[in-house]
Structure 1
Amino acid sequence: MLETLPPRAHDALNSAIASMHAALAVDGHNFDLAAALAKRHLERFRRDQDPRDLGQAEAALEPWLRQPNPPPRALVLRANVRQSNHLFASALDDLDHAIRAEPENADAWLMRASILQVQGRYLEARQSCGRLILTNAVIAGICLANVAAVSGRPEQAYLLLQRFAGQVPPTDLLYSWLMISQAETAVWMNKQEAAEQFFRNAMAANPRDAYLKAAWADFLLDQNRPREVLALLAADIRNDNLLLRLALAEKQAGLDADLAPHIEDLQSRFAASAERGDRVHLREEAIFNLKLLNDPEKALSLAEADWQVQKEVADCRILMEAAIAARQPARAAPAMMWLKTARLRHPVLTRLEAQLASHVVGAGLAIRATHGGPSA
């Protein structure tokens, strides 16, 4: 037995995808059907994080993407695939082409804002969010709040998100995104009880979302509640990101017998990704090396490579943690500069920033003492 595939019977999304594949095999020139199928694959990728869905989404669109001027909808869907693979430059290129053809394409502007925010390009991200106001004020507001939260204005973001909370019922597709946005903003403001309630609201509305599960698990691990993470992720070992969180919970809970095979499994997965040239999970690999393999030097190198690609709170955190553990605080300078420029306030990052500053001061004093300086 090489692998046990997840059960897909009695699942509405899987059934819809299977039916659409059968229909496309009969009517291969139907672009609307192909685009709908690609969108469904992307939906399942967000839920299950199985990278094969990304390949299948792009394959469904391939005949139209070969055209000299692909349909804007095809470009936006391919940009989604490229964004998921962290190919941000080519994703932005697709989006720019789509926007030139359809200047009011809301999906393109929203995805563009998301990518620019991940890259730390906040002014451009806000401008992209602003283009959504005439199309959907709620989406534009959540988009703008997310940018504000990571660029020094979490209080403004929190108030803006609260304003929209009454307008988005739990049955709305926007509800989970709104709850996650409120939860993360609350964490950054050190409102832990409020953050937990927002996470629980999101989980109740969308319990299978992989991104949400990872964010909720991270929150619980920071609260030193590993048993809840174990219960949450016990059935999610196929997902690399969630398996990592499960292993971190096992270490936190002292379950060494369960932890050992999961560490071995993660090592194999990260090695296979490196062989394929797939560097999507650099941040997770850095966390794995730092917290589970106790290899801060390798973790720091991975965190630095990850920082070249994306600049989110979690990327900043692992770079700072690895620099401290490796006793090389100067290598965290890009993260420190980002914190200063973005004016981001986050309780964990503030603590790490103080630790790094003390390491730098301590190193400076040691050098002066060695060379007979004023502190000698």
Structure 2
Amino acid sequence: MTPIIRFAGHSLLCALLCSWPSAAALAEAYIPARDNLVLDIVPARKSNPLDARIARLQGQLAAQPQVFARASELAQAHLERFRRDGDPRDLGQADALITPWLQTRPIAPLALLLRASIRQSNHQFDLALADLDTVMRASPGNTEALLMRASILQVQARYADARESCGGLVMQDAVIAGVCLANVLVVSGQPQQGVALLQRLAPQAPDSHGVSAWVWASLGEAASWRGNTQLAEQALRAGRKVSPDDAYLKTAWADYLLSQHRGAEVQKLLADDTRNDNLLLRLAMAEQQTRDDALAGHIADLNARFAAAAARGDRVHLREEAMFRLYLLKQPEAALKLAQANWQVQKETADARILLASARAARQPAAASPALQWFKQAGLPA
């Protein structure tokens, strides 16, 4: 199975949506007048091995719909593509494939593991942990369960528990265990040791299952947080070389370029990624840096998307909406409320940064206290 690594707090969307209603349409649901009305034109995916594998697996499942191995393999492939592209259709398809198998007794551990991954992507962290606990009772050394558990616990700032889960990986894969531990060290008071460990492990990481891209991304972000821009750029470029289409790596690379005021490079990088909310946000921020005329249209698009998410009760994108309100709309009070709500769910470096920046912009220093305390304990500069 493809490892589900590192991205607990960075999953991009949580529902199966192929089009976004305008802000004006949110007050009343739109019901098409006829079944064949075109609501949106979904761009075709580029031909690549993963897409070809999904097409092949769909055919195999159609021939054997009652075989769990067929459904689970296809669900795993959709989750792999979701992590690569950030396309919500894949997350919804994985959910639909697994749901029937959660009604069987006993439930297969793999079905629970896949549901945990979906719940993780939806920021339903406690529910995901409950699934993982069940999986580990049946399979105590399950690598994917231990790694996902460590990732979620790290996002929740439960660092001692996260280190314990990382330790459980040692017998399964020393490199993955080391990277898992290094990621925890970086945000729990030992960032220098964490970066050093990532530097040592990055060249050893296998290319398979996205492990190498994960390690380089981890190193690039950690180095950037510590202000080592040279190492950050080298690591992120190495990750992009291994996995150029990975949505998380694109986001990390765009964030780094934006921090260096290299907006024109971000525009070139993300020109074809406007369906992905996280990447569209970074594209708009780059257009703000370069004073591009396309900015107004992208702000309107993002505003409609966040309004639609709020109307659905989807609060996965609180961090990104806070960034949107603060940096693009210049609404620090609204941004602060979103950042505070986000902080109740996840506590990563980016979450602390937007909370701190919003509190300062809103001139509410007391609201910055949780972020400042987090940076102090993490050993990272605020």
TM norm structure 1: 0.89
Find the aligned partners of 1:15 and 1:147 in 2 and give their Cα distance.
36
Alpha-carbon offset, residue 63 of structure 1: 2.2
Of 149, 152, 165, the residue aligned with 2:202 is: 165
> Structure 2 matches for 1:66-215, cutoff 5 A?
66-168=103-205, 170=207, 173-215=210-252
Alpha-carbon offset, residue 47 of structure 1: 1.2
Q: Does residue 50 in structure 1 map to residue 87 in structure 2? A: yes
Does the 8 Å CA contact 1:154/1:188 hold for their aligned counterparts?
A: no
Find the aligned partners of 1:262 and 1:71 in 2 and give their Cα distance.
44
Identify the range of structure 1 (166-175 vs 18-27) with the bigger mean alpha-carbon deviation.
166-175
Aligned position for 1:290: 326
The letter for the 1-side match of 2:361 is: A
Find the aligned partners of 1:108 and 1:249 in 2 and give their Cα distance.
37
Aligned residues: 345
Find the aligned partners of 1:295 and 1:108 in 2 and give their Cα distance.
40
Secondary structure of the residue that 2:294 maps to in structure 1?
Answer: helix
The letter for the 1-side match of 2:120 is: Q
Shift in alpha-carbon separation, 1:11–1:290, aligned structure 2, 3 A: same
Describe the superposition over 1:163-200 as per-residue Cα deviations: whole angstroms up to 9, x where unpaired. Answer: 22332255673111111111112112221111101000
Find the aligned partners of 2:362 and 2:126 in 1 and give their Cα distance.
31
Aligned position for 2:310: 274
Aligned position for 2:20: none
Q: Does residue 251 in structure 1 map to residue 288 in structure 2? A: yes
Shift in alpha-carbon separation, 1:302–1:54, aligned structure 2, 3 A: same
Aligned position for 1:343: 378
Of 287, 303, 307, the residue aligned with 2:343 is: 307
More helix by percentage: 1
The letter for the 2-side match of 1:188 is: W
Shift in alpha-carbon separation, 1:31–1:250, aligned structure 2, 3 A: same
Does the 8 Å CA contact 1:176/1:205 hold for their aligned counterparts?
A: yes
Find the aligned partners of 1:173 and 1:115 in 2 and give their Cα distance.
18
Task: Give the aligned CA root-mean-square deviation in angstroms.
Answer: 1.4
Aligned position for 2:354: 318
Does the 8 Å CA contact 1:171/1:205 hold for their aligned counterparts?
A: no
Find the aligned partners of 1:170 and 1:63 in 2 and give their Cα distance.
33
Find the aligned partners of 2:57 and 2:306 in 1 and give their Cα distance.
33
Find the aligned partners of 1:302 and 1:9 in 2 and give their Cα distance.
36
Describe the superposition over 1:280-314 as per-residue Cα deviations: whole angstroms up to 9, x where unpaired. Answer: 11000000001111111110000000000000000
Could you list the runs of 4 or more consecutive aligned residues of structure 1 that deviate by over 3 angstroms after TM superposition? Answer: 169-173
Of 345, 366, 372, the residue aligned with 1:330 is: 366
TM norm structure 2: 0.88
* % same residue: 56
Alpha-carbon offset, residue 234 of structure 1: 0.4
Aligned position for 2:54: 17
Describe the superposition over 1:248-272 as per-residue Cα deviations: whole angstroms up to 9, x where unpaired. Answer: 00001111x2100000000110011
